[in-house]
């Protein structure tokens, strides 16, 4: 597997987490077809190779997609992933924080609640490590896949609980908290990047039939299907809109069905977003 495209590569470059299945796979395929060189960051080189082969077959090239090892539940792995990408001395025009899990209980390697650690904190650190390259590559974008599930986190963030094992029976409450964190992070990131040429977007992809739900208790899965699950192709559309079409003037906003959507009241709390930003910085620095 070739991991060293030319450092003089002139095409646009994107890094996508969790791109070996579901909406991440569709996103990677469509972005490659749109002309991007795609770095697919995930846990399994074997599973990702199938998507890389598919990208090369559809784009009729052999130097378009590359695997990067990444385990978002381990901040050391996040740092190693970023270092591997940065070592290639390529620009980065688009970072897609796509990977996510729901229903998996426990704690990450560094002791954070599992959904929060994977869905928010791992992506927070990855973005921080790639920020200077994004700014140097401007215009650039950061697209974070959040969820309408943030509506479940109407009580905000229970700070002590974020450093404890999953408490709820199904893990869905914690999933909602992690998705609230995604929206707050994206909104504050837009403020931090104002004037740099890097814009940010968060989104609800719809309730999509993907493996993000694989850890949910079996009795809940039929309930999801009763609501009408979208296909990964349908679920990737808002991500692709934000990546390819959303204007920089809409940086920091939240999207649903490829349109601006007003998130919950607490997801619009700028003070909470700033608090989460600074707390997340402290946590990832403490673990370095």
Count of C-beta atoms within a 10 Å radius of residue 216:
19
Query: Exposed (0-12), middle (13-18) or buried (19+): which is 7, by Cβ within 10 Å?
Result: exposed
Candidates 154, 175, 201, 255; catalytic one: 175
DSSP 121: I
Task: With beta carbons less than 8 A apart as the criterion, state whether 107 and 124 touch.
Answer: no
- How far is residue 200's CA from residue 229's CA, in Å, rounded to a whole number? 27
Query: Exposed (0-12), middle (13-18) or buried (19+): which is 258, by Cβ within 10 Å?
Result: middle
* CA distances in angstroms from 171 to 78, 120, 145, 211, 230, listed in the order given: 23, 15, 18, 15, 22
175 a catalytic residue: yes
Count of C-beta atoms within a 10 Å radius of residue 214:
12
- How far is residue 121's CA from residue 138's CA, in Å, rounded to a whole number? 24
Active site positions, annotated: 175
């Amino acid at each position: 597997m070739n991991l060293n495209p030319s450092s003089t590569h002139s095409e646009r470059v994107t890094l996508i987490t969790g791109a070996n299945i579901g909406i991440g796979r569709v996103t990677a395929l469509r972005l490659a077809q749109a002309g991007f060189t795609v770095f697919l960051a995930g846990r399994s080189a074997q599973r990702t190779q199938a998507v890389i082969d598919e990208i090369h077959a559809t784009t009729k090239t052999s130097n378009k997609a590359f695997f990067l090892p990444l385990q978002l539940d381990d901040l050391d792995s996040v740092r190693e992933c970023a270092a591997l990408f940065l070592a290639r001395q390529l620009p980065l025009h688009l970072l897609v924080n796509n990977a996510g899990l729901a229903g998996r209980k426990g704690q990450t390697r560094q002791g954070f609640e599992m959904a929060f650690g994977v869905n928010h904190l791992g992506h927070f650190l990855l973005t921080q490590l790639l920020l200077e390259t994004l700014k140097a590559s401007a215009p650039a974008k950061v697209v974070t896949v959040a969820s309408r599930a943030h509506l479940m986190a109407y009580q905000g963030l229970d700070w002590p609980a974020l450093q404890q094992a999953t408490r709820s029976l199904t893990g869905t409450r914690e999933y909602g908290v992690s998705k609230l964190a995604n929206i707050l992070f994206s909104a504050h990131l837009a403020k931090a990047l104002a004037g740099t040429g890097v814009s940010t977007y968060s989104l609800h992809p719809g309730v999509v039939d993907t493996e993000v739900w694989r850890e949910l208790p079996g009795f809940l899965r039929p309930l999801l299907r009763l609501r009408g699950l979208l296909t990964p192709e349908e679920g990737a559309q808002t991500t692709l809109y934000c990546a390819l079409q959303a204007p920089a003037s809409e940086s920091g906003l939240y999207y649903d069905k490829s349109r601006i959507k007003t998130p919950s009241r607490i997801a619009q709390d700028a003070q909470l977003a700033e608090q989460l930003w600074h707390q997340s910085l402290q946590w990832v620095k403490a673990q370095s």
